[in-house]
Structure 1
């Protein structure tokens, strides 16, 4: 595995905005335990709803329309449960006791993924170095798509703002059945192996989780229902496509728009900003004023608050964001909040710009 120098942030000064911000958030927001209770109720309820929709597949799935409907609803709930409850639990932000958060992270195994692997990708790489090439695993790219300005420009990238519309609906299938295996067994550009040695037991858990997921989501309905096996398979694929479309809204709206910044390190590995300044520069909010968006996407709508306070549950973020905006204005730091459809449009404009050969000169890349 190639050796890369870890990025280094500047040390905050005495007048650092985050010191004042953190103090005010502690005093005005974090003492409200009712917001933690709200998060616990929401997390457990989402898990129960997922189980209910799965049960409905088995109970009513002999009707083809209901089969597709409950697979779709199960897929939506899977994404919402992942984005809200699992995501917060990984950050230790649902329950007060760490062991309860750890137990809840095993819900990811229900979906066929691996909690150990996802935690290393998200906590140790994405949150540590968001938008930093070769370190941010959450926006790690293949040759299929060009996001980072310093990445090679290939001839077909000029079409990426078209064909990615067809690729994104398969996000969850790629995540569960391609990317997980690449991160466990791949050697080229393997970000996870730069920071951790994968325990042998996690390899067994990876295969066990995927087999268990395929067993209860595919094999059991095929055995229990009178539907042709192909119909169940199509409903399962429909679940992943529709779930991916919901999930991609969160994925593309917070870090990778047309104005996104991708900081580069100098020869000594320094990024030139403090950790908190970096989070402000590379992170965006979307649809923060929408109750529906806040319910569905949790810490992704108020994503700046999440990156500055990752150990705090998403139910606190609507009360933290106004404080962030105040200090962003006072210290002349960037803050962006736009509707999700504007964020998606901006993302595809970014793809168009990154795939344009003319962008090489305009970006100063030789």
Structure 2
């Protein structure tokens, strides 16, 4: 497929805020090794908890309420693992050695995903160029939803602030069983294929193997072992994905795509109008940073500005990096926003309503 011409950021000047910010973070926060250990213990603990709940499905699943309870708990734990442990490992931020992060990411395959593909989507596209049209594939995934201001307005988009309430709970099902296959084998708007020369055959094999293993142990084994109708087990499995997705979507819609979101474009030569660090500040927002529960569940998403500025740092450091970011934001008059999660979610759906109709040119100032 045709290669994309990568956007180019402005070069940082001698008084660039990020140089000072990075030095201060390195000399203070990152010296605390206990936060590294906390991240490792948390990640391994969450992995143990998932398989504990899975074991409870097999041991107690003959009771229908308990079957659904433990499937739903598996769903919550699966998403928290994705957002915390696997997310950090994908950035090389969970363990100190790169090979240990790589080994841990193979555990992700047990959940049906493909870490090789996810890293291309998330790191090479989203993190490299967040909120940039034709590059941030984490935002632009389907024509079902319109977010970028330059995307075509389709008739059904005027209802997207309504129907997305019903589509977002399908997020993990779409990711694992549809989107991965589209990115491996599809050609329409396949930006992954435009940034890689070829998809390794090894990854194609891993893709299918992971899906089969995942469905076998999480769905078919309970169907075989439990004294439950197959459709009740299937319903429990669906509940796992639905409830887990609802938990995860809060993080996905709260950090980049609210009604005040910025979507920087490039000029004719592909140049962006800000430095890399300033761009991250402009397009990224935090949510519920003071909530211990939100920080535990959502890891690097509550302190998302810190994550985008320091993606190679584990999320347990971010609550201590954020105050330093706020200090430099005030000193250099930089944008920084943090909302309660409920405000962020409401703002996202207001944005969907606004983006679902053609912009009024008298409002947008195009004449």
- TM, length-normalised to structure 1: 0.98
CA contact (8 A) 2:4 2:195 kept: no
Gap regions ≥5 residues in structure 1 = none
CA offsets per residue over residues 183-236 of structure 1, 9 Å max, x none? 000111111111112101100100000000000011100010010001000000
Separation in structure 2 between the aligned mates of residue 244 and residue 74 of structure 1, nearest angstrom = 12
Runs of 4+ that moved beyond 6 A:
none
**SS of the counterpart of 2:31?**
coil
Separation in structure 2 between the aligned mates of residue 293 and residue 314 of structure 1, nearest angstrom = 12
Query: 1:140: Cα distance to partner?
Result: 1.4
Matched, 1:111 2:114: no
Matched, 1:282 2:283: yes
Separation in structure 2 between the aligned mates of residue 161 and residue 268 of structure 1, nearest angstrom = 35
Aligned to 1:194: 194
Separation in structure 2 between the aligned mates of residue 205 and residue 361 of structure 1, nearest angstrom = 52
CA contact (8 A) 1:287 1:301 kept: yes
Gap regions ≥5 residues in structure 2 = none
Aligned to 1:157: 157
Matched, 1:248 2:240: no
Separation in structure 2 between the aligned mates of residue 104 and residue 237 of structure 1, nearest angstrom = 26
Separation in structure 2 between the aligned mates of residue 94 and residue 116 of structure 1, nearest angstrom = 17
CA contact (8 A) 2:46 2:77 kept: yes
CA contact (8 A) 1:158 1:357 kept: no
Matched, 1:318 2:319: yes
Separation in structure 2 between the aligned mates of residue 87 and residue 273 of structure 1, nearest angstrom = 26
**SS of the counterpart of 2:30?**
coil
Separation in structure 2 between the aligned mates of residue 203 and residue 191 of structure 1, nearest angstrom = 17
**SS of the counterpart of 1:277?**
helix
CA offsets per residue over residues 279-304 of structure 1, 9 Å max, x none? 00000000000000000000000000
Separation in structure 2 between the aligned mates of residue 30 and residue 145 of structure 1, nearest angstrom = 39
The within-5 A match list for 1:85-164 is: 85-164=85-164
Query: 1:106: Cα distance to partner?
Result: 1.4
Aligned to 2:271: 270
**SS of the counterpart of 1:212?**
helix
CA RMSD of aligned residues (A): 1.1
